[in-house]
Amino acid sequence: MSGREGETLTADVLVIGGGPAGAWAAWSAASHGAKTILADKGYLGTSGATAPGGTNFLYVEPDERKREQAVEERLASGGFLSEGPWIYRLMEQAYINIQLVEKWGYRFPLDDNGNLYKAHMQGPEYMELMRRVVRRAGVRILDQHPALELLADEHGVGGARGVNRLNGRSWEVRANAVIIATGGCAFLSKGLGCNVQTGDGQLMAAELGVEMSGMEFSRQYATTAAFGTITRNRLLGFASFYDEEGRIIHEGGPRGDHFFAVQLDKGPVYAMLTQADTQEKRDILRASTPLWFVPFDRAGIDPFTQKFPIAMRYEGTIRGTGGIRITGEDCSTTVQGLYAAGDAASREKTAGARSGGGAYNASWAIASGTWSGQGAAEYALEQAKEARQRNLQAAGRHGLAHTASATVEIPVREVIERVQREMFPLRINYFRSEPVLKASLERLNLLWPLVQGEVGPTATNRVQSREAAALVANARWMYTAALLRKETRGMHTMQEYPELDDRLNHRLLLSGTDTITFRAEQVPGHQGRHIPPVIVKERQSV
């Protein structure tokens, strides 16, 4: 192993990631008889987008009419790129597992009719419970153990390597099945090298030849206080909005889909929670999402009586739908023994071209974690040879400096800042147009050679260099796919192509890191015109 020598462990199933999807995957694998290890770059119980606050779920009672209506609504809103059977499966699995959460001790509140309200959970309590459940299932948890690369041979994946942040040593887990549940790619700058979602799981899979799907549907931004990073903007539904001169732009009630982007493009926008006009309402809001108020309390701002500036934070594939293409109902991929769950996986099968945020993403984490855990356990237990007996090799290539030719250290901060300059601006990524995206992609391609350099000696250096490479890779996939989809569908818009094009009723599958290729995939059950697969190579600019 590279770096300071550490421990080597063996298991049947290795889960990479400690958010809700990773927790469910580990529990599911262990519950199906597999010796399971979970490795997280942070701490299982506080990792992932769910842990900081409340989250909704797609909790639909087993009523045929209600579920059929939910499926039809999602098929339409998702641009007809999702699949009805998968949406039904998602609803059923989420319903079953939420009953388990109640059985395990989660205390759901009562609704106005005195019934348990199970379509919402508080993240801190939910994830604290999941940590206890995972440990009771016999899973070994490796906190502060970011994975850096997969291990593989001619038979498929066989484990992963990473670094232990607590002592700086390398670690290696050999397992015949691996589940990537690391979260998506958020392009955040704060906390780099800590528990930040940078799309490193997608890069690990791509280095084994796995395709990405739905990367063009990654235009989602969330609105929050300009001085904070908490992107749970449900509370802004209680706000009135003002321009720089203090004039009211919008006063409560529903807003148009592009309201914030349009207004912020004109100039600064301020908000105040005027609709929470009683102390009772304010107490309820504070109790529902306490973390949202932390930056206000630190800044000495009362959001109920004082105006505060707002900003839009880009959320990449966290609330987008793109990610690792899954090929089986057990969330398997084209690589033997490799599975994907949660935000690391493409959610096109259930979300289509529309954001999988909120209820759909939270339910997808539950369902995909459960399916992948069972699938990985069954696969691993069928193998005649243990992973420790295989001739496994490290598959990582980018941001790791495995090649002797690397002589210049990777300029991590410079790379991150330059990627953010391409991904954050509304004028590039929200109001998309062909010439602007093409120019941006050319600049991103120039960054790719930079992440092939030397890596610093510390554990933090190693993690940050890998994260920088993952950010560049994801950005290039996103804009490559966006330029290929010459239409407006779901969350993807193109100025030159403002309408949905029926000839593009297919998914775009991208593969490769140095050279990006793509092909079209028909949506099962779609009755539209057949689109033949096309493969085109994108020339790298150096």
Q: What is the pLDDT of residue 188?
A: 62
Q: Which CATH class is domain 8-53+124-217+317-394?
A: alpha beta
In this prediction, residue 144 carries a pLDDT of: 95
pLDDT of residue 291: 80
Residues β-bridged to residue 213? 323, 509
Q: Domain residue spans in the chain?
A: 8-53+124-217+317-394, 221-314, 412-522
- Residue 151's SS3 state is strand
Q: Is 475 exposed, middle or buried (0-12, 13-18, 19+ CB in 10 A)?
A: buried
pLDDT at 417: 94
**How crowded is residue 416: how many other Cβ atoms within 10 Å of its Cβ?**
21
- The secondary structure of 376-435 as a DSSP string is HHHHHHH-SS-GGGS--EE---SSS--STT--SB--HHHHHHHHHHHHS-IIIIIS--HH
C-alpha to C-alpha distance for 446 and 511, rounded to whole angstroms:
19
DSSP 48: S
> Who's near 26: CB < 8 A, 6+ residues apart?
13, 15, 36, 38, 134, 137, 139, 373
Whether domain 412-522 has CATH 1.10.3210.10: no
The token duo for 487 is: 């239409």
| Length reported for the chain | 542
Query: Which distant-in-sequence residues (6+ apart) come within 8 Å of 262 by Cβ?
Result: 256
For the beta sheet containing 248-251, the strands, ordered from the edge strand earlier in sequence to the opposite edge, are: 221-225, 308-314, 270-272, 240-242, 248-251
pLDDT at 110: 84
> What tokens appear for 161 in the block?
């390597």
Average pLDDT across each block of 10 residues of the chain; the chain has 542 residues. List them in order.
72 97 98 98 89 84 92 92 95 95 93 86 93 98 96 97 94 98 73 57 96 94 86 84 95 82 94 95 87 91 96 87 96 98 95 85 95 98 95 94 67 94 95 98 97 89 93 97 97 95 95 97 65 31 26
Name the CATH code of domain 221-314 (choices 3.30.1360, 2.160.20, 3.40.50, 3.90.700).
Answer: 3.90.700
